[in-house]
Structure 1
Amino acid sequence: MGEVGRWRSAAARAHFRTVYEAGMAALPVVGESVDVPTTFGTVRAYRFGCTAVAGVPAERPVVLLPGRNASTPMGAPNLPGLLARRTVYCVDLLGEPGLSLQQLPLTGAADQAWWMGELLTGLGLDSVHLMGVSFGGWSAVNYALHHPARVASLALLDPVMTFAPIPIRTMVAFIPMGLPHTPQWLRRRVLRWITGGAAVSDDSPVAALIDAGTADFELHQPAPTLFTDAQLRALDMPVLALIAGRSVIHEGQRAADTARAVLRHGQVELWASASHAISGEFPDEIAARAHRFWDGVDG
C-alpha cells in the first residue's frame, strides 16, 4: 500500500501553519471556509466573494488550483482581480502542504480526479470555470478529462506536463527541494531560478509559503504524466492557455505550438517576458484576460 503526504515533524507542521496563516492574512476576506470529506481525505476549500442573491443570476464561479508545494495563499496576487467579477473558490490540493488532510494514498490520475469531483459535489458546484497554476493546471486538465460535464472552461497558467515535458535540467534542479535537510539558501536559489531570476524576498508571503511547503512537508504523490495529443484533443470545452516564454518547466514555444495544434477550442498565448511565476508577475493582465475569456464562454 502506498504512503500519504505527511509533515516531517510536529515542529515542521507548526512552522508551516504559522507561514500559512500569515499568507491567509494577505488575502481578501474569506466568505466561507469548508472542510469537504472525500474518499481520499478531507479537503480544505475557501469561498471568496458574494453568495448568489435570490432572483439574480450569479456569474459561474471560478475554482482556483495552486501549484505544487503551495496552497490557497498562493492566490494572493490573483484574487483581487478575479473577485472583481466572479466568486472564487480556492483549494488546498489533497496530498500537498496545506490544511487538507490526506487519509488514503493517491495511486494515479483517476484518484486525483475522483477526489476533486467529490469536492465540487460537497461545495454544491455543478458547473465551474477551472483555473490552475503549474501543477494546478495539470490537475484541472486531468479532472476535465475524467469528468468533462462539470467543467465549463479551463484557464491554464503555464501548466506543467500538459503540452510539453519537463526538461531534464529542471528535474535535476528540483531534487533538492524534496529533501529534508536542504539548506534554505539552496531552496531560495532554486525558487529564484524558477521565477526567472527574480529575487525571492523574505517579505513575500507566497515565496515563504512555497519555501515552507518544500521544507516542512514530505510529498507522496504520483508524478503527473504528460497528456497525450489524443487526450488533449478530447477536451470539448474552451481552453485558455497562457504559456510563459521564459518558463523552465517546459520549452515555452514548443508548449504553445502543441497547444495550438491539439486543442479543439483553444485560445493559446505565449507571453514572451513571463517566467513560470506568471501568476504573480502579471496578475492584473491575467485577470483581465480571464474575464474576457469567461464572459465569452458564458455568452
Structure 2
Amino acid sequence: MPENKNRVRRDVGRYVSDTLRDRYFAAADVLFAMGAPLRSETDVETSFGTTHVYRYGPTDPAAESRTPIVLIHGAAYSSAMWFPNTPGLSLDRPVYALDTPGDANRSVHREPMWQPERAAQWMDEALDALGLDEVHLVGSSYGGWLVLNQAHRRPERLASVTALDPGGLEKVGLRFFVWIFISLFATLAPKALRPRLAKWLDQPVLAIPEMREWIQLGARAYRIRRPAPLPLAEDALRSIRTPLYVIMGKHSLLVHPKRQLERVPRLVPGARAEIISATGHGPQIDHPDVVNARMLSFMEDVDSLGPAAVTADAHEA
C-alpha cells in the first residue's frame, strides 16, 4: 500500500497550524529584540532535521578568536529564552544559540532524537556543520540534560559544560510537572496578580509580559513528541572528564539543590556546583548578570589554566 505523504508522524514534534506558528514566531522575535543584536542566523542540516542557529557578538574584534559559547535552551521553546543573557555573554566571546529540533522553534524536526545516543549525535553533527571544533557548552533545564549527556557520550568538542538547573541529575518528579501546570495556568491571571504569583511560584516569566505571551503561544502552537529524559546513571556521571559547572536555583523543583550540591562534585572529578538564592528553575533569567559573570569566570579559568586546574567547588550563594 503506498505511503500517505500527508500522514502526521507521531514521533516528531509539529505545529498545530501555520497561523499559530507565525504568531509564536512573532512573539519570539520580540524577545530576540530585547537581547543582544543578532550577528547572523543560519540553518544546518543533521540526520534528525534542520537546526536553526543564532550567532551573536563579540563586539570586540580581538575576542572573535576566543572559544565560543553554545547555548542549548530548555524544553518546549526556543533560543529566545536567552535574551537576558546574550548581551553580557557576547561581549566576551562569540555566542551561538541552537534551536533544538522537537521543540517550538525555527528548527525542522524530521526524525526522533530523544534517545541519549541520538541526542548526542544531533549536537555533534550540528557543531560540526558550524565548523566548531571546541566550545563552551551551556544548557538550561532539558538543555541541561542534553549538555550532560554530551559530556558523557561525545565530549571531544567540549572545552567545558555549564548546566543551569538541569535535567539529567535525578528523575523528574511530580512536583515539577505540577509547578509547570500551575505556572502555565497563572499566565492567564489578571495583570495585578501576576507579580505576586511570579514571586510565589518563583516564576519570573509571569512578570515579563513579552515572555508570558511567548509561552502562552508556544503551548498552543506546538506539540512535543518525546518522553521526559531519564537521569544519567552514576557511572555515566563518573565518566565525565569535561570541566563541569552546575548552577541551581535554591527553590528549584526540578532538582533537590542541596542534594546535588554534595553529589555532583563527589561523582564528577573537579566539578563545581552552586546554589543561587532567591530563584527557582530560572537562575539565568532571575539573575542574568550574576549568572553570566560566574559562567564567564568559569570559562576563563578553563581557557587560561586548563581543565586540570579547574577544581571542585560547592557552595550556596
Mapped partners of 1:106, 1:216: distance in 2: 21
Mapped partners of 1:49, 1:293: distance in 2: 19
> Which residue number corresponds to residue 13 of structure 1?
21
Q: Are residues 144 and 231 of structure 1, via their aligned partners in 2, closer, same or farther at CA, if it must alter by over 3 Å?
A: same
> Which residue number corresponds to residue 177 of structure 2?
171
Q: Tell me which of the two structures has the higher relative contact order, counting C-alpha pairs closer than 8 angstroms and 6 or more residues apart.
A: 1
> Which residue number corresponds to residue 215 of structure 1?
220
> Which residue number corresponds to residue 155 of structure 2?
148
Of 264, 271, 279, which residue of structure 1 is paired with 2:276? 271
Q: Are residues 238 and 107 of structure 1, via their aligned partners in 2, closer, same or farther at CA, if it must alter by over 3 Å?
A: closer
8 A Cα contact 2:58 2:90, kept in partner: no
Q: Are residues 77 and 115 of structure 1, via their aligned partners in 2, closer, same or farther at CA, if it must alter by over 3 Å?
A: same
Whether 2:188 is the aligned partner of 1:185: answer: yes
* Superposition map of 1:1-299 within 5 A: 2-50=10-58, 58-160=65-167, 162-174=168-180, 185=188, 192=198, 196=202, 198=204, 200-201=206-207, 203=209, 205-299=210-304
Structure (1 or 2) with the larger CA radius of gyration: 2
Q: Are residues 51 and 85 of structure 1, via their aligned partners in 2, closer, same or farther at CA, if it must alter by over 3 Å?
A: closer
Q: What TM-score do you get using the length of structure 1 for normalisation?
A: 0.88
Q: Percentage identity across aligned positions? A: 29
Letter in 2 for 1:296: D
Mapped partners of 2:91, 2:59: distance in 1: 14
Partner SS state of residue 246, structure 2: strand
Q: Are residues 74 and 194 of structure 1, via their aligned partners in 2, closer, same or farther at CA, if it must alter by over 3 Å?
A: farther
Q: Are residues 37 and 52 of structure 1, via their aligned partners in 2, closer, same or farther at CA, if it must alter by over 3 Å?
A: farther
8 A Cα contact 1:259 1:266, kept in partner: yes
Mapped partners of 1:286, 1:154: distance in 2: 14
The Cα offsets for residues 222-249 of structure 1, whole Å up to 9 and x where unpaired, read as 3211111111111101111111110111
The two structures, once aligned, show a CA RMSD in angstroms of 2.7
Q: What TM-score do you get using the length of structure 2 for normalisation?
A: 0.83
Mapped partners of 1:184, 1:272: distance in 2: 24
Q: Are residues 57 and 15 of structure 1, via their aligned partners in 2, closer, same or farther at CA, if it must alter by over 3 Å?
A: closer
1:185 CA displacement: 2.2
Mapped partners of 1:148, 1:183: distance in 2: 39
Letter in 1 for 2:104: P
Q: Which runs of 5+ in 1 are unaligned?
A: none
Mapped partners of 1:197, 1:66: distance in 2: 17
Aligned residues: 291
Partner SS state of residue 55, structure 2: strand
8 A Cα contact 1:97 1:213, kept in partner: yes
1:169 CA displacement: 2.3
Q: Which runs of 5+ in 2 are unaligned?
A: 1-8, 305-317
The Cα offsets for residues 108-163 of structure 1, whole Å up to 9 and x where unpaired, read as 11111111111001100001000111111111111222211111101111112x22
